[in-house]
């Protein structure tokens, strides 16, 4: 699965093999993960400022806190505005002669930097 964390034993194995001088490609092949996954954890190791000797002393919980969690993306402010607008859209669509396109046009008049029609419909559904 894309962008999911791997087990702490695999992360330790990546760091051990890298400390032995192995290439990212050979590490990825041996462990069974993509080269970009290896690269991501090695970049995180470099950014943390820790060495392999430091990593060996950490518990799995500490290692997971450092490398296992992916940062939560910040919510899109446009989506927040649209979510507040959607109950009104639902109510208006029950009226005769009102279409999604009409409501989207009204939404775009109020929010010029808002979503385009397809995304508007996607989030409404």
For each of the chain's 125 residues, which pLDDT tens digit applies? 555 678 888 888 999 999 899 999 999 999 999 999 899 889 888 888 888 888 888 888 888 887 766 667 788 899 999 999 999 999 999 999 999 999 999 999 999 899 999 999 999 98
Residue 41 lies in a domain: yes
- Do 94 and 62 belong together in one domain? no
Q: Which domain holds residue 63?
A: 8-68
Q: How many domains does the chain have?
A: 2
Cβ(28)–Cβ(35) below 8 Å: yes
- Do 98 and 58 belong together in one domain? no
Coil vs helix vs strand at 122: helix
Residue 43 lies in a domain: yes
Residue 29 lies in a domain: yes
Residue 82 lies in a domain: yes
Taking Cα atoms as reference points, which of 72, 86, 87, 74 lies closest to residue 115? 86
- Do 13 and 62 belong together in one domain? yes
Residue 33 lies in a domain: yes
pLDDT of residue 81: 92
CATH number at residue 30: 1.10.10
The rounded Cα 12 to chain-centroid distance in angstroms is 23
Residue 3 lies in a domain: no
- Do 63 and 15 belong together in one domain? yes
Tokens coding 48: 């943390």
- Do 61 and 86 belong together in one domain? no
Q: pTM for this one?
A: 0.54
Cβ(63)–Cβ(56) below 8 Å: no
Beta-carbon contacts of residue 95 (< 8 Å; ≥ 6 apart): none
- Do 81 and 63 belong together in one domain? no
């Amino acid at each position: 699965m894309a962008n999911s964390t791997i087990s702490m034993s695999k992360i330790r194995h990546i760091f051990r093999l890298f400390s032995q001088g192995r290439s990212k490609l050979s590490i990825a092949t041996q462990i069974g993960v993509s080269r970009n996954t290896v690269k991501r954890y090695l970049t995180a190791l470099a950014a943390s400022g820790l060495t392999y000797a430091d990593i060996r002393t950490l518990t799995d919980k500490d290692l997971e806190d450092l490398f296992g969690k992916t940062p939560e993306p910040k919510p899109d402010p446009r989506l927040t505005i649209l979510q507040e607008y959607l109950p009104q859209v639902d109510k208006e669509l029950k009226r005769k002669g009102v279409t999604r396109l009409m409501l989207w046009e009204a939404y775009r008049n109020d929010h010029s930097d808002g979503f385009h029609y397809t995304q508007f419909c996607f989030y409404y559904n």
